[in-house]
Amino acid sequence: MRDLLVFVLAVFDVAVFVAVIFFVVVLVLCFVFDVLTGVEVFATFFVAVFFGADLLARVPRVLVVFRVVFLLA
């Protein structure tokens, strides 16, 4: 059971890391598209990415709480 929980936490860590990279790549691509075409997509996607990144920033704190509770149990 302990190995399964460690595996699940590791998967969440990797998923958060990949999601953060994805948001950064989308942000950069939107900026490049905005510069090359002059179409104002950057601001719209920046807001979406900002809120998505804000939510992702909360995930590691939750994982830390789970780890502390798990280690104390």
Comparing 39 with 12, which gets the higher pLDDT?
12
Percent of the chain with pLDDT over 90: 0
Q: Is the model's pLDDT at 36 over the cut of 70?
A: yes
CA dist., res. 57 & res. 40, Å (int): 26
Q: What are the tokens at 7? A: 């595996």
0.85 exceeded by pTM: no
**Domain of 30, in residue numbers:** 2-72
Compute the C-alpha angle 71/57/44, nearest 5°: 160
Q: How many domains does the chain have?
A: 1
